[in-house]
Amino acid sequence: MLTFPNAKLNLGLHIIAKRPDGYHELETSFVPLPWADALEVLPTPNAAPDTTLALTGRPVPGALATNLCLKAYALLKADFPALPAAQLHLHKVVPIGAGLGGGSADAAFALRSFNDIFGLQLAPAQLATYARRLGADCAFFLENTPVLATGKGDEFEPLPLDLRGTPYVVVWPGVGISTAEAYRRVRPQAPQHSLRQVLAEPLATWRGRVVNDFEEALAPAYPVLAEVKQQLYAAGAAFASLSGSGSAVFGLWERGATLPPLSWPSPYAVWQGLL
């Protein structure tokens, strides 16, 4: 089975308070981004006993055993001891440490692939329970529709937000920012605006009101983030922001707008299209 785990964008991200469990209370929104890895999952030939993972494309840091696709398999194997081994091939396109949810998407699509290939007959709610054990945003990728996310980022409410056909540009400045580092730098605070309310208003009104709290927190250490954002506005974006805890910065244009020719030097990478 071949699937294409897509990335996501955060529209606004409020770090509201530190929770007793060590996580943070969040308010954010997720929308799917049509930029994807490729994940192939197959039963192992000749009933081989071990699940394997081959990686190609962008480098994936860390030991292979820590990959979320293998962790997804291990979660299911613990509850389904007869689960056959699988052969996985992940081709990475979405960079790690970009705030685009690439690893979480890979895990969610792996869970769904295992469920389909091996006939586990897990309902969507059951798959979502497994996904939340792998990452706060992981369950989002099972449905891939806009949501308002609260709690530690794993409690979802449908968001009546239709950005289909909206031109976008995503710029990755060639550096990764770990989630742990980003949270060390941020100071929790109550949001000035209700994210649900502001996102219900026209795109042209979002600038300065749809805020990602990580931007200010990361600015001293990563001035490139503000530089890219300003360049996107200078190129005509109606709204620009950091996604997640970074380091990807994106711009959205009004529907029907023609994206200007944009380029950045290596090691930057740029993706553009329509949502």
Terminal-to-terminal C-alpha distance of the chain: 25
Q: Of these residues, 137, 154, 213, 229, which one is catalytic?
A: 137
Q: Is 102 annotated as a binding residue?
A: yes
- Beginning with the edge strand found earlier in the chain, give each strand of the sheet holding 269-274 in spatial order: 239-242, 249-252, 167-172, 269-274
Is 137 tagged catalytic? yes
Q: Is 95 annotated as a binding residue?
A: yes
Task: Calculate the alpha carbon distances from 29 to 118, 197, 199, 237, 243 in Å.
Answer: 33, 12, 9, 19, 10
Q: Is 266 annotated as a binding residue?
A: no
Q: Which residue, 161, 142, 263, is CA-closest to 206?
A: 161
Q: Is 12 annotated as a binding residue?
A: no
Q: Is 182 annotated as a binding residue?
A: no
Query: In whole angstroms, what is the distance from residue 230 CA to residue 244 CA?
Result: 18
Q: Is 98 annotated as a binding residue?
A: yes
Q: Is 97 annotated as a binding residue?
A: yes
Q: Of these residues, 8, 37, 106, 213, which one is catalytic?
A: 8
Q: Is 204 annotated as a binding residue?
A: no
- Beginning with the edge strand found earlier in the chain, give each strand of the sheet holding 155-158 in spatial order: 6-18, 24-36, 147-150, 155-158
Q: Is 165 annotated as a binding residue?
A: no
- The residues that bridge with 147 in the sheet, in sequence order, are 30, 158
Known binding positions:
95-105
Known binding positions for ATP:
95-105
Residues identified as active-site: 8, 137
